[in-house]
Chains A and B, each alone.
Chain A
Amino acid sequence: MSDKKKLEGNTPENDNYRDEMDELVRIFKEELSKAQEEAEDNGFDADNLEVEGYDPKAVSLDESRRAEIDYEKYCDCCGERPRGTKKNPDSIFCEECEAILEKYPYDWKGLLAIVLVLGVVIFGIVNFAIDTPAFSYMKNGDKKLKENKLYSAISDYDSAEVCIEEEVREDYKNLYAKRISACYKAVDMGTVLSDLSYFSESNLKMPAFKETKEISEEIEFMQATMMAIQQHIDGIDANEYDKILAELESLSGKKIYEKNGSYYDETDTQYVPDGTEKVYICDEGWLNIYKYANAQSNNKEESVMIDFLEKAIGNTEYVDRVWSPILASAYVSTKQYDKAEALAVKLKEMNAEGIDDDLIMSMLYRYRDKDYQRAVDICIDGLNGLAELDDAYDLVGGVGYTLSMQKTLNFIMLGKYTDAYESAEECCTYQTDSLGSTDIQSRDLWAILAIATNNTEKYDELEAEIKDAGDYGIPFDKDVTDYKEGKITLEEIAMSGRYDIL
């Protein structure tokens, strides 16, 4: 077959013909090897068989004739006509072959595939373009989550969610898995619980959502423990310290059963487990938190409370994140400064944007180092850091007031009473704006500083507010009246520990 014929139309018919040829080649090879095996079995030397009338030398091209042919002169394709075209005299092909080669037909399957794939590519690019804002925010969030910048990460995940159409948001499981992780670390349980509702049991079984499943289980575990504790201590008077403590200790290491939303524990002899319920072991972390709360409400020694807190830490991530600042503060008030500092470092690692570490360090600078200016600086830096963050969390108002309070106390120690008054005002304003009311300590300190700066108008205003509240009004603390009567100094108030709110 000439090259020209061979190149004419790479049609399905031609393909069928080639497939047929391939099949013939395969059958021929099979038959040949069968015949060879048979011949060998019958004692023939297949390699040295001589065929009568066949001389291999006679059919091969004479060596001298082969040397005479200058292959470089002939077309690389047909081997018959001389090389070169009008357009390109140096072409290795002849005019006819080059024209044919340029129009070599494609296999229809390849053409169909490229059309289909290009269609999918275009549609895919459009799809990705729609998702680009969500992708970008999520990536930014991931970066911040890795750096433990939890508030920024959550804010980015929130922005990503807004970029997605409401009807399809639920499909973006990883977005919610990541936000659950960030919110759980930032102790935002409301968002965690609402995002967990997007995950079915089967979703949580997937390896991709391992962390989400762990968080979900930890929440269930804590919930079961708290329900069991409540069932045990409900109805006992809060002043009965020993009785509550005994009830809490009776739960230690005990199994809790959850069936149809009801909780039973091993101490409940009336309940017989039937193997269909979920089983948890009572969480030592929460047991010790309840013991701490029991000790605090019964005014037990600081060392007893610290002991309970120390036992509570290290059981669940949630308890660690919520109660470590309280423990650190307790360390400061019992002058265990090294332990407090170590916890402050740990708190910084847990949430790089959190202010708990700034609060503890500010207290340490005041109580341990007497470096009040440094304490003020760290509070100002902390507040500036919060202000830089997105306002999604209302961080300045929501938690920043605690830093304002520390700043106030340190201004007092520096003798800058006007600054202290302004800072106390800032503290109360943040609380009122964000939480709707101020706590007693902040109000009392503001009143004390109003007296110190001769702002009688403000003092009277605060006093009037208490009177206006009637039975609900909580009177000023003894500190306020003592300071007014000159029985106590501002410095003593600042170092009393009563105003170190967390």
Chain B
Amino acid sequence: MMRIIYIIVKVLTIPGAILHAFFEHMSCRWTKVIVDDARTVQFNEMLGHVDHELIKRKGASFDVCFIPFFFNLALGFLLLTNGATSVYYFGKYSDIFGWLCLYLGISLCTNLFPQIEDVMMIKENFFQKGKNKVSKIFVAPFYAIFFVGARLEKFGLTLLTSIAFSFAVPTILGWFVPAIYNVIK
């Protein structure tokens, strides 16, 4: 059942899933991780991910999780900046482009997190006995975010969290945009 929900959510947010897979592939290329299957559209658990080998290198295991997360979040936030302000904040309900940005933003933010197996690789590479403490401290919060996110994604709950996030975007923008505008003005 959960698998079906997971796939339904992935299909509903397919632009975000494709981009996540694309960025995961890109990070694999950057970190020279072997990719076994780079198809971005396949209607199973791999939708939104690329099939790559187990990563034994610390940096690579972190990058493969972080880079897609960062790019999807950044692009998603930029899309929601226009979409959420247009639709939710200004109330421009007939603005089709605003709705498109909102949909794409939500779809990107729904597909932020790595697979749980990839998160486990971070644990394996960073949190074993005798590993560097500084890197442990740096990676720990990301590990926690990825772990929780991957779990939520497994149950399709990231769709709800991204919708909630989209509602919060105008408020977040309100913290700094008026101040910046006042300075520029």
Nearest CB to that of A133 among chain B residues? B181
Interface pairs (24), CB distance under 8 Å:
A77-B34, A92-B57, A98-B32, A101-B32, A101-B34, A107-B41, A110-B19, A110-B21, A110-B25, A113-B15, A120-B104, A123-B97, A124-B81, A127-B86, A127-B97, A127-B98, A132-B181, A133-B181, A136-B177, A136-B178, A139-B173, A171-B91, A171-B95, A174-B89
Interface residues of B (CB under 8 A from A): 15, 18-19, 21-22, 25-26, 28-29, 32, 34-42, 53, 57, 75, 78-79, 81-83, 85-86, 89-95, 97-98, 100-101, 104, 108, 173-174, 177-178, 181-182, 185
Whether, in the assembled complex, A440 has its beta carbon less than 8 Å from a beta carbon of chain B, the answer is no
CB atoms of B90 and A175 under 8 A apart: yes
The SS class assigned to the B binding surface is: helix
Indicate whether A172 reaches chain B with its CB closer than 8 angstroms: yes
Residues of chain B lying within 8 A (CB to CB) of residue A123: 97
Measured CA separation A482–B82 after assembly (Å):
70
Most buried by A among B92, B178, B182, B185: B178
A399 located at the interface, meaning its Cβ lies under 8 Å from any Cβ of chain B in the complex: no
Given the complex of chains A and B, what is the CA–CA distance between A139 and B176 in angstroms? 10
Main secondary structure of the interface of A (DSSP, over half): helix
Q: Which residues of B contact A137 (CB under 8 A)?
A: 178
Contact of A102 among B29, B42, B173 (CB under 8 A): B29
A173, B93: Cβ atoms closer than 8 Å: yes
Within 8 Å by CB of B100, from A101, A120, A208, lies: A120
The chain B residue with its CB closest to the CB of A107 is B40
Chain B residue, CB-CB nearest to A140: B178
Residues of chain A within 8 A of B18, CB atoms compared:
109-110, 113
Contacts of B28 in A (CB 8 A): 104
Q: Chain B residues near A101: list those with CB within 8 A.
A: 29, 32, 34
> Would you call A171 and B21 a contact (CB within 8 A)?
no
A54 contacts partner chain B, Cβ-Cβ < 8 Å: no
- The distance from the CB of B156 to the nearest CB of chain A, in whole angstroms, is 21
The reply on A221 being an interface residue by CB < 8 A is no
Q: Smallest CB–CB gap between B85 and chain A, Å? A: 6
Inter-chain contacts of A171 with B (CB < 8 A): 90-92, 94-95
Additional pairs, 16, CB under 8 Å, beyond known A117-B108, A127-B86, A136-B181:
A18-B39, A76-B53, A104-B28, A104-B35, A106-B22, A106-B25, A106-B26, A107-B25, A111-B22, A114-B19, A117-B15, A120-B101, A124-B101, A125-B81, A131-B86, A171-B92
Instruction: Give the distance in Å from the alpha carbon of A132 to the alpha carbon of B82 in the complex.
Output: 10
Answer whether residue A128 sits at the interface, using C-beta atoms and an 8 A cutoff. yes
**Nearest chain B CB to A284's CB is how many angstroms away?**
34
Complex partner residue of B22 from A105, A114, A125, CB under 8 angstroms: A114
Given contacts A77-B34, A101-B34, A172-B91, contact A124 B22 (CB under 8 A): no
Assess whether B178 is in contact with A121, with CB atoms less than 8 Å apart: no
List A contacts of B100 (CB < 8 A). Answer: 120
Residues of B contacting A105 with CB < 8 Å?
A: 38
Q: Is A177 an interface residue (CB 8 A)?
A: yes
CA distance A34 to B34 in the complex (A): 36
A135 at interface, CB cutoff 8 A: yes
0/1 per residue, A400-423, Cβ < 8 Å to B? Answer: 000000000000000000000000
Distance from B26 Cβ to chain A, minimum over Cβ atoms (Å)? 8
- Kindly state whether residue A247 has any CB partner on chain B within 8 Å: no
Judge if A138 is at the interface, Cβ distance under 8 Å.
yes
